[in-house]
Chains A and B, each alone.
Chain A
Amino acid sequence: MTFEERIRTTLQHAGGGIAVDERQPELNRLALEAPRLRRSRLLAFAAGFVVVAAVGVITVVFGLARSSDTFNPIGLIPGLTAENEIELIEIDPSPSDESFSWDWAYSIEGIDRVDVGRPGPDFWAAAGREPGEEMRCSGANGGYGCSLVRDPLPDVGGQNAGGLGVLAWSWANVPTQAAVVVFTEPDGRVTWQRPSNRFVMFLDAVGNDCGCRMDAYDAGGVLIGSAHVRDDF
């Protein structure tokens, strides 16, 4: 049996075992709900229109023609191309335990996952302190690092990506306004990423203390913050 056939067998088996409430009357509910849905959508549309109009005015006033979602930095920031964009993929976080409460997890090509979250009771107990200070932690392969959210320094962490001399560098508190973060290696190689929940992650080919830098730009292409791997890790 090929690997693809094994996947098919497993999914067919699992899918067939998912008990689904075959509530046919649901159809009538759906039909009845359609007009209600239309009304609620009309209201949502009206509310959305007001919001969009307000955002439009603000955008024009401040000259920010593009939002971070639709912001295309290629051509605006030197060195960025469609090919050197690193896609940050959001995945389900690891189960939380008494030590850490993971809120998000991310993956990029080359590293399976890095969890991001907050310390739990066990962490504070081990540190001999009362919970209270807001911290952000990131972890992979059993290791983790935490820093205070109020800490003005960039929260930069290194994650081993399989003992290949390759590290994934994460920056967990990029400025709120950052639309793009550019990762530059010592030899001038550039990759870039759109942050998610103030988080970015890049692979480097050098390894420990690579001397790489991460620069955050806002939607206007203005540099608003930097993190230096050598200085901060």
Chain B
Amino acid sequence: MMAKNTSAEVKDGHTGVNVLDFDEFYRARRVEMVRAVALAVGGRDLGCEAADEAFARALTRWGEVSGYDNPAGWVYRVAVNWGRSRLRRSSREARQLLIDPLVEQEMPEPELLEAVKALPVKYRAVVVARFFLDWSIQQTAEALAVPEGTVKTRQSRAIQRLRKRLKEPQ
């Protein structure tokens, strides 16, 4: 009698990685990552392209990346770095967030979003990780490969800039 294969592993013929694991990770995290990267780099299309590039890289080294505490952190870092390097070459259209008009109409504080969009990317990446992805200081530091002190400093300076732009007391 032939044994029925019930293994949850499907090895990719080229990379040898467990595609099924990656499949689950990709399906579970892609939308969130695209949105986070779009907010961090200031453009939906660029965010989408950057996130896909980062996922493609994650797949090629999934054996290593899947062992990290937060594989999404690795994807976020690679995507934000890739997006940053493309920012100058990309068109202005690529930098539009393209928020659903109905959602945009009901935006509670559009001026606050504009202020966030005006932050330098390195600050925005921290703000998005902390407040959109709800990552802790430690998770954000690990994801962006910077010391926790740097995350705290960037967060504090970002908030300072946002308050200043919104003319609110520091």
Contact = CB atoms under 8 A, between A and B. Distances in A.
B39 A14 contact: yes
B141 interface: no
Given A12-B132, A18-B34, A30-B56, A7 B116 contact: yes
B96 to A, nearest CB: 10
Interface in A94-116: 95, 104, 107, 109, 112
Contact of B112 (A6, A27, A33): A6
Given A9-B108, A11-B127, A31-B59, A89 B15 contact: no
B38 A18 contact: yes
Contacts of A104: 88
Interface stretch (A34-42, A137-145, A185-193, A202-210): A34-42
B120 A10 contact: no
If over half of A's interface residues share one DSSP class (helix, strand or loop), that class is named, otherwise mixed; here it is helix
Nearest to B128: A11
Contact of B103 (A4, A11, A17): A17
Contacts of B161: 112
Contacts of A8: 131-132, 134
Contacts of A91: 118-121
Of the four ranges (under 10, 10 to 19, 20 to 34, 35 or more), the interface on chain B belongs to 35 or more
Contacts of B27: 24, 27
B31 A20 contact: yes
Given A10-B108, A14-B97, A18-B100, 20 more contacts: A7-B159, A8-B132, A10-B113, A11-B127, A13-B103, A14-B107, A15-B36, A16-B35, A17-B99, A17-B102, A18-B44, A20-B44, A34-B15, A37-B56, A37-B57, A91-B118, A91-B121, A92-B95, A92-B118, A112-B164
